[in-house]
Amino acid sequence: MNHCRLQTAVRLKASNNLFVMKEVRQKENICCWESPANIALVKYWGKKGDQIPANPSISLTLKKSVTKTTLSWPKKDVGRSMGLKYFFNRERHKAFEDKIISFMEELRSYFPFIDDYQFEVQSLNTFPHSAGIASSASSMSAFVLCLLSMEEKVINRRLSKDDFLKRASFLSRLGSGSACRSVYPYAALWGRDDIILAGDDQYASALCDIDPIFKSYQNSILVIDSTPKSTSSRQGHRLMDNHPYASIRYERARKHCREIIHAMRDKDLTTFIEIVEKEALELHGLMMTSDPSYILLKPNSLELMVRIRNFRQDSGTPVCFTLDAGPNIHLLYPRSYKKKVEEFIKNELLKFTAGGLWISDEIGSGPIKHY
């Protein structure tokens, strides 16, 4: 499977901002990337060591749900230890700061020069924290992309676009498994399989051979509950270690990856829908059948799933649902059905959401480098 080309674009700023942009670039010790969240079609659930997945997974890259990160690195005073300040939405955020500092420790062997610098990270998400969109994929990948841009400037390391992305994916994986898929446009594959030869456990790759209809896909995220989860994804992955259905699950995930790759290439929306919904339900089935068992779905998650299936059957609209490790519902459908599905959402689904909260996102072309 070949890699898609890096779809970066330096966004043109309004003319009154150009001067500021030039100033910033001249400083040389600052860079800024935005990187998107992704939604898995075939789920990564269960891992070994430092995010080596127990099975291959496939995701769609989102467009509007992004983390925008600015990294600056003044030279530090001699003798002081590497320091990092992390600001989230312009406010110092100690919990994220500690997480990024320990990630930096892990990355030291890949970026030996980091000990010579102090760091300031300014980060913000375009999606609300309460929306139930996992922000670790977008935030970890945005941070890693900044480190790679820093590496280019500081030690003049030049990589081809494909190698740059592969390295970004590999390093993002060390921060958060699913983050490795966020660096690619449209659709990504991550994880080894004897039949899908492009899959690798260490990094993801772009899934390029897909029908253009999937590049137009919409992702409407309906927030059912925005309170913190009772069981984290980290605990959930760990519970797969002794899960009674682990080996069956991993085999099924491999099968689903192979099938969905064909369905996406051949524009087989019926198979696509079948696999996507099966995967979402299996993920939550694994949670319910783990030891100890836990449930992240809410009654309204089920209500929406049933309504979406009924709507699909009655109207012939190729819309399906998927879920992350949480109760919120992601609707997936081609852009040509946007008006129809949004009407359905407003008329029939929003009353089951938390305060009518929903996000209208779509599939996007991957990270954007601002400077």
Residues that bind ligand PMV (CB under 6 A): 40, 43-45, 57, 134, 136, 176-178, 233, 283, 324-325
Smallest gap from residue 83 Cβ to ligand PMV (A): 27
- The encoded tokens of residue 98 equal 């500690």
Smallest gap from residue 53 Cβ to ligand PMV (A): 8
- Smaller CB distance to ligand PMV: residue 151 or 324? 324
Smallest gap from residue 51 Cβ to ligand PMV (A): 7
- Smaller CB distance to ligand PMV: residue 142 or 283? 283
Smallest gap from residue 25 Cβ to ligand PMV (A): 33
Per the CB < 8 A criterion, the answer to whether 188 and 36 are in contact is no
- Smaller CB distance to ligand PMV: residue 43 or 63? 43
User: Which residues lie across from 358 on neighbouring strands?
Assistant: 222
- Smaller CB distance to ligand PMV: residue 61 or 176? 176
- The encoded tokens of residue 302 equal 């089920």
- Smaller CB distance to ligand PMV: residue 114 or 131? 131
- Smaller CB distance to ligand PMV: residue 24 or 275? 275
Smallest gap from residue 42 Cβ to ligand PMV (A): 8
**3-state SS of the chain?**
CCCCCCCCCCCCCCHHHHHHHHHHHHHCCEEEEEEEEEEEEECCCCEECCCEECCCEEEEEEEEEEEEEEEECCECCCCCCCEEEEEECCEECHHHHHHHHHHHHHHCCCCHHHHHEEEEEEEEECCCHHHCCCCHHHHHHHHHHHHHHHHHHHHCCCCCHHHHHHHHHHHHHHHCHHHHHCCCCCEEEECCCCCCCCCCCCCEEECCCCCHHHHHCEEEEECCCCCCCCCCHHHHHHHCCCCCCHHHHHHHHHHHHHHHHHHHHHCCHHHHHHHHHHHHHHHHHHHHCCCCCCCCCCHHHHHHHHHHHHHHHHHCCCCEEECCCCCCEEEEECHHHHHHHHHHHHHHHHHHCCCCCEEEEEECCCCEECC
Smallest gap from residue 292 Cβ to ligand PMV (A): 18
- Smaller CB distance to ligand PMV: residue 32 or 58? 58
- Smaller CB distance to ligand PMV: residue 53 or 114? 53
Smallest gap from residue 249 Cβ to ligand PMV (A): 12
Residue 247, Cβ density class (10 Å: 0-12 exposed, 13-18 middle, ≥19 buried): exposed
Smallest gap from residue 234 Cβ to ligand PMV (A): 6
Smallest gap from residue 349 Cβ to ligand PMV (A): 22
Q: Peptide bond before 212: cis, by omega within 30 degrees of 0?
A: no
- Smaller CB distance to ligand PMV: residue 36 or 70? 36
